[in-house]
Structure 1
Amino acid sequence: MQNGKTDEVVYSLAFNHLVHLQELHVDLASRPNLSKSFTGMSSLQKLWFDYCYIYSISNETFTSLPKNITELRMQNCKSFFTIESDALRHFPKLSVLDFAGSHIHLQQALRSLYPLQNYRMKEINFHHITYSSITRYDYDVILSQEMMQYIATICIQTLDISYNNIVAIREMSLIMFQHPECFINVILSANRFGIQQMEIEFLAFFYKMTNLKLFDFSYLPLEFKNPVFPNLIYGSSQNIIEDRSIAIKKIKRLFLPKQLNTIRLTHVMANMNIDEVLAVNCTLAVIDLSYFQSKVFPKFIFKNDHYISELDLSGISALNTKSKFPQVHSLLALRMRQTELCRLIDTDTNIFSWAPKMQDLDISSNFIWYLKENSLGDLSNLLTLNVSNNILQYFPTPLTKLENITTLDLSFNRLITLDEHTRKWIDSQNIKKNILNYI
């Protein structure tokens, strides 16, 4: 299958006798002839081409496949070259299309959706289908209305177009979907485009995704917030040569869709200027903003019922996130790795007071060299604490007040020994917990 790009392979197995089979995984040769032996599979719904070496797909390649297929997956087809625009017309009931990892290129994949216009789709997975080796198309993808004209008509529940080297959006083509209310999961990560030219319009469209549960817009080097340039005239570096603050649109509030459960904006370098993020009667449970480097860190406002259980602020200075969250009694897990927490923990005893029911706290890699009596405040519900990769020289005695702690990670500090009081606390039968100490 790997070597034969000229030899046609006839699939002549007696598939037509498998009248009750609902899911089929089959290898795909470089030049397959999918014979009429497939047509009798009246119950087939899911078709996976697992080891995929197909070279090209014509409008006739899938002619003999049963019309009742709802799920077609062709992942990691590394020898791919072309797919004709009407090739998917043989799947009138298709609701899942997965080309992830195949060498198709996003532009060609979007054009292949021509027969699926106005369909209702559970999933379209175009993750990482654009490669620099596909010389027929530009590696830098610029989304236009022409490219998006077919997908825009489809009601899609899960859309993944991540890791496709999308560098720019033209004509607001990213938000021309006719059915934003259909989206449940949207993954746009690891591309290179920004929304500076349509920030207000994009955020308004975002709120129209009324059933959205997961939104992932991460790993985006959109724009460094404080670039430094060499000054050849005066022989020293200087920050931003011209003041661009006027050009950046000021957005007062970002309203979150009520059904949103998970929002992931991690590893983003941007110049965003949003004052507030507002959730009203929102089902939001997981927020991952780790390594979100922006000029302004917004204030989060939760009105009425809210259920935030996990929050990751790693990689953001604790000075920037301080007082940016309201009292959240539902928060169970907080991660604040590499947040320069050492600059606050010495003077502020209310750092974690806004999350009094917390059970899992990670403050590793923060250059913490000691903890005062009230450095962590009252965290009586804490079960797991990670203080690893700091510079503690002595065991912090305030930790012995955490009566419910079950897991404590002190690895990669500067602890040489444990005093008698600490050892008794660990071994005490009254605690009746399994404390794990890594020193």
Structure 2
Amino acid sequence: MHTVLGLVCSVVCCLSAKVLTTSKETVNKWVTADYTNKSLKEVPKNLSVHINVLILDQNEIQIIENGTFKNLSALIKLTINNNKLEILQPNAFDGLDSLQKLELVGNRLNLSVFTPTLFRFIAKLRVLNVSRNINFSDHANWTHYPDRAFAKLINLEDFSIDLAPFPIFGQEFKKMGNLRKLEFSHCQVREINNSTFTNFNSSVEYLYLWKCRHFVKVENGILEPFPHLKVLDVSNTYMHLIQAFHLLKPLANGSMEMINFHHVNDESITNNSIYRYEVIITQGMMQYLKTICVKVIDVSNNNIIDFNNGSLLTFDRPECLREISLSKNRFSLFNGHQLINTIQFFNSTSNLWKFEYSYIPLGFINFTQHLEFNMSSIPKDRVITLPSSIQVVQMSHIFRTGEPVLWEIPENTKVSRFDVSFCQTVDQGKILAGSEIDYLDVTGIDSRVIFDTLHLHPLSNLRTLIIEHSNLYITSKMQDNIFTYIPGTEKLDISNNFLWELQLNIFEHMTKLTHLNLSNNLFRQIPMAITKIPNLKELDVTNNLLTNINISFQAYFKQLNEKHGFRLYLDNNALVCDCTNSDFIQWLDKTNVTLDADGTYKCILQNSTESNTHHAALYYNYLYAGCNNRLWLKAVIGFFVTFIGIFFPFTLIYSFRWRISFYLYKRFRNMLEKGIAVNFKYDVFVFYPEGGLSWVKHVLIPKLERKWGLQICISDRDFIVGKPIADEIADNIEQSRHIIFLVTASFKHDTWGEYAIERAKYHHFSQNLQKIIVITKDLQTEEIPHELAMLWKDIALIEWPMNEKDLENTWNKLKLWLFLNQPN
């Protein structure tokens, strides 16, 4: 759709340039009077006779009286958009001898106001836009457009008007012999027959029929009056894709700039038509389109579920094609004849520079096979080679199963944008020698796959790389640095990757890096790795766990700012405004570094109340007055600690000998587990009483599984049918890293609750179940079951809040316990 809009803008700009045939230097000398949004009830009096552009948009003007513009003979452009215009008197435009562009969009002008004499004073007009005016609620029958009025505009090139449900355009429209662009953007049309456009001149080259949201009955010959048509745009007009393809019959074997059939098929119209919502493209549907030498084709968002062999991707002159959009449909390019046709298509489209195939739901993801498949074993008949002319590839959000395909970028190809985010068909990619990619988005693809691909095919000239939601915390710990292969990257986004630390040398080869996004991770402090980035200009660390920025980084950011300017994003962190962070508060208030949120962030004060950093800086002397007076207290505490360290160590060791021994055992066991690469089947086992399934299913699982990427085990979904429940509970707790108990009022009545607690105690003390988390919902702390209360020192307790204000802090606490595992 972006392609279509881009071409539309190009067309409009081209027409406007021709309409207002003046150089840029001349335009700069125009005199403009802008009265936008001034609450005007009428056109201002005594306007300067030298005005060239008059803008009266967004006011309350209701009438244009005779002679209103009588002295404005120099006026070239007049806009009165979004007012309350209802009346145009017959001599309203008297005196506008030089007017070339008139816009009256978004008013209350019915067709009756366009009288035969209205436009006689502005015969030089090139652009007229009177769309979004007519109320069609009372137009149940055929609507006659005032052809005698518009026939006066013999020089008009660009005409925009509303389209009635049953329109009739009279013979006088033939006199508009210079008309090139005809646009119906506000559209209620129900029927377009072969005679609807007969009286328009054959000079029309651009036809726009947008957003007609009722089912439109269309006859096949409506385009016969326009043999020279270059652009046909019927996007978001519900006529069904079959009718749309048949419209092209009069244009067969010709040449066109664009054919836009985006979203012409909609589920809402199937009850009012003979057509099915599911579309299968046949050779018969393509019989006219395939013969046209067209540069841009858009058939996106039409619920296409399949295409026959030799249909959708088969053209008589494929070398004409520059852009094609197949997005938001439901058909595959990777099986049987579809794959053969796809390969043939790319082999023949020698001038294709943009390919869109995104948001295609085809199946579920088998992530294990996705990671284990060997690229070298892909057969040649499953290799898709893109044309060397390709510059933009948009293949995001494609979900499928089955055999993978290998996408190959030819030698010496310069790709400006390659977006394969959340795409499970391009997990295998090959970049031949000399090829370059400027912008690469691999969001949602496992970082191990990305690492292997870059290892085989380095991208030394890649300027922008997006790696979100890719479990980068796994590969960031590898000895072989993944970022070694992209030394030319300027913008890097590694947000949403569960990162809490970075290797010191991870960015040392990225000397050109200027923009780094570390947001939505788990950093407790700014990573030292960024000090290896000499030209950093922008750092985003929003939505992390930062409590402050230490003095070293304050000085470093100041240095960067003095060097070339520096921007820092800090919002939504766990900032603290206590005595330990007093220097940080002052730095935020006085720094020249550009900060987001105006340098005002939520923080916790010394007394544990919530405030913000601006308030802390404003009342700095009051809030931090006692900080220095506590030095003596620190000395006393230090002496006391030394005393305890000398006289009581053996007493403490003896008193807690078993607990210390057990702690050392757990530490040893953790190290041993890492050494032998123990893998848990689940990250979290969730035990809930009867009636708790709805909350777990609709609140907990969407957050933990879909957003945080954890593997969750719940009885109603993951237990094996027929196996004893006791065995299932024991086995799944044993295979889980953590356990969450959802405790409600009905927990004490659950027959398996006590058993699950006993199994959790056993695995926690003997097999290192890492976290026991208790979430109480609609329950007081003292009502927690006795069995769990006995584990009080070994559980992490969360009282689920009743209001939305505290919900974010609760989620952050749960995330911290689940991801930053620290043995008790």
Task: Name the TM-score, length of structure 2 as normaliser.
Answer: 0.49
Aligned to 2:321: 183
Cα drift, residue 227 of structure 1: 9.4
Identity across aligned pairs (percent)? 32
Aligned to 1:419: 550
Structure 2 counterpart of 1:376, one-letter code: F
Cα drift, residue 273 of structure 1: 2.1
Aligned to 1:310: 439
Are residues 123 and 394 of structure 1, via their aligned partners in 2, closer, same or farther at CA, if it must alter by over 3 Å?
same
Are residues 173 and 316 of structure 1, via their aligned partners in 2, closer, same or farther at CA, if it must alter by over 3 Å?
same
Aligned to 2:168: 33
- Is the Cα contact below 8 Å between 1:53 and 1:80 reproduced in 2? no
**Corresponding position: 1:323 with 2:438:** no
C-alpha distance in 1 between matches for 2:543 and 2:387? 42
The worse-fitting range, judged by mean Cα deviation, of 101-110 and 16-25 is 16-25
C-alpha distance in 1 between matches for 2:248 and 2:526? 61
Aligned to 2:88: none
- Is the Cα contact below 8 Å between 2:214 and 2:269 reproduced in 1? no
Secondary structure of 1:33 counterpart = strand
- Is the Cα contact below 8 Å between 2:443 and 2:468 reproduced in 1? yes
C-alpha distance in 1 between matches for 2:365 and 2:380? 15
Cα drift, residue 359 of structure 1: 0.4
Task: Name the TM-score, length of structure 1 as normaliser.
Answer: 0.91
Structure 1 counterpart of 2:142, one-letter code: E
Aligned to 1:437: 569
**Corresponding position: 1:221 with 2:353:** no
Structure 2 counterpart of 1:159, one-letter code: I
1:74-111, Cα deviation, whole Å (9 max, x unpaired): 01011242100111111010011011001111011111
Are residues 327 and 89 of structure 1, via their aligned partners in 2, closer, same or farther at CA, if it must alter by over 3 Å?
same
Aligned to 1:174: 312
Structure 2 counterpart of 1:438, one-letter code: L
Structure 2 counterpart of 1:170, one-letter code: N
Cα drift, residue 314 of structure 1: 0.4
Aligned to 1:297: 427
- Is the Cα contact below 8 Å between 2:519 and 2:544 reproduced in 1? yes
Aligned to 1:379: 510
C-alpha distance in 1 between matches for 2:418 and 2:167? 46
Aligned to 1:261: 391
Cα drift, residue 371 of structure 1: 1.1
- Is the Cα contact below 8 Å between 2:513 and 2:533 reproduced in 1? yes
Aligned to 1:251: 381
1:145-182, Cα deviation, whole Å (9 max, x unpaired): 11111111111100000000001112331122111111
Are residues 292 and 357 of structure 1, via their aligned partners in 2, closer, same or farther at CA, if it must alter by over 3 Å?
same
1:390-409, Cα deviation, whole Å (9 max, x unpaired): 00011111212212111100
- Is the Cα contact below 8 Å between 1:185 and 1:215 reproduced in 2? yes
The worse-fitting range, judged by mean Cα deviation, of 363-372 and 37-46 is 37-46
C-alpha distance in 2 between matches for 1:432 and 1:76? 48
Cα drift, residue 124 of structure 1: 0.5
Aligned to 1:362: 493
- Is the Cα contact below 8 Å between 2:360 and 2:398 reproduced in 1? yes
The worse-fitting range, judged by mean Cα deviation, of 74-83 and 333-342 is 74-83
| Residue of 116, 119, 123 corresponding to 2:251 | 116
Secondary structure of 1:204 counterpart = helix
Secondary structure of 1:390 counterpart = coil
Aligned to 1:140: 278
**Corresponding position: 1:197 with 2:336:** yes
Aligned to 2:100: none
Query: Root-mean-square deviation (CA), in Å?
Result: 2.0
Are residues 350 and 89 of structure 1, via their aligned partners in 2, closer, same or farther at CA, if it must alter by over 3 Å?
same
Secondary structure of 2:516 counterpart = strand
Cα drift, residue 276 of structure 1: 4.9
The worse-fitting range, judged by mean Cα deviation, of 91-100 and 146-155 is 146-155
Aligned to 2:468: 337
The worse-fitting range, judged by mean Cα deviation, of 309-318 and 323-332 is 323-332
C-alpha distance in 2 between matches for 1:274 and 1:8? 54
Secondary structure of 1:47 counterpart = strand
Secondary structure of 1:134 counterpart = helix
Structure 2 counterpart of 1:310, one-letter code: Y
Cα drift, residue 254 of structure 1: 2.3
Structure 2 counterpart of 1:9, one-letter code: T
In structure 1, the gaps of 5 or more residues are 229-238, 240-247
Bigger helix fraction: 2
C-alpha distance in 1 between matches for 2:305 and 2:506? 45
C-alpha distance in 2 between matches for 1:193 and 1:249? 22
C-alpha distance in 2 between matches for 1:177 and 1:437? 50
Are residues 324 and 162 of structure 1, via their aligned partners in 2, closer, same or farther at CA, if it must alter by over 3 Å?
same
Secondary structure of 1:425 counterpart = helix
**Corresponding position: 1:91 with 2:226:** yes
Structure 2 counterpart of 1:226, one-letter code: N
C-alpha distance in 2 between matches for 1:412 and 1:220? 31
**Corresponding position: 1:210 with 2:341:** no
Cα drift, residue 249 of structure 1: 7.3
Higher relative contact order (CA 8 A, sep 6+): 1
How many residues are treated as equivalent by the alignment? 419
Secondary structure of 1:157 counterpart = strand
| Residue of 329, 347, 369 corresponding to 2:478 | 347
**Corresponding position: 1:24 with 2:159:** yes
C-alpha distance in 1 between matches for 2:567 and 2:416? 28
In structure 2, the gaps of 5 or more residues are 1-134, 370-377, 572-824
Are residues 364 and 193 of structure 1, via their aligned partners in 2, closer, same or farther at CA, if it must alter by over 3 Å?
same
- Is the Cα contact below 8 Å between 1:74 and 1:102 reproduced in 2? yes
Structure 2 counterpart of 1:174, one-letter code: L
Are residues 4 and 209 of structure 1, via their aligned partners in 2, closer, same or farther at CA, if it must alter by over 3 Å?
farther
Structure 1 counterpart of 2:447, one-letter code: A
C-alpha distance in 2 between matches for 1:96 and 1:303? 38
Bigger strand fraction: 1
Cα drift, residue 61 of structure 1: 0.6
- Is the Cα contact below 8 Å between 2:180 and 2:204 reproduced in 1? yes
Are residues 86 and 390 of structure 1, via their aligned partners in 2, closer, same or farther at CA, if it must alter by over 3 Å?
same
